[in-house]
Structure 1
């Protein structure tokens, strides 16, 4: 019946009406945003992996057979 606002805009611009193929793929419309999001997710996953690894190593040292000499990093004085 009546043209949609998108097709009315395309026709009033003097161009060929758009098919709407780009509206179904938001990743292609904003590639920088997609790359930034993936990079941020990678940084978060790396942070979580390192945190878990440090925690597992701390627990392994604490529960080892020679644990009577174990001092956590928080109570050791912080290094040299």
Structure 2
């Protein structure tokens, strides 16, 4: 499944410096795995392809919703364009 969500980290220091540019923006995300250690242990995580944000716990995403592939691809393309 494909998802979109607003990236809203509780603690930006846990992410790469690139992640700061995505705060407050809608991102295309894909479901990852259950985090098995650290402060987010037990939470579902997601990841934003084509970025170096890394794993994103569900608590750092707002307005998470499933979207059609065409919408997800549109968001993905906009991220790719911003990174060039």
| TM-score between both structures, scaled by the size of structure 1 | 0.22
Q: Report which of the two has the higher share of strand.
A: 2
| TM-score between both structures, scaled by the size of structure 2 | 0.21
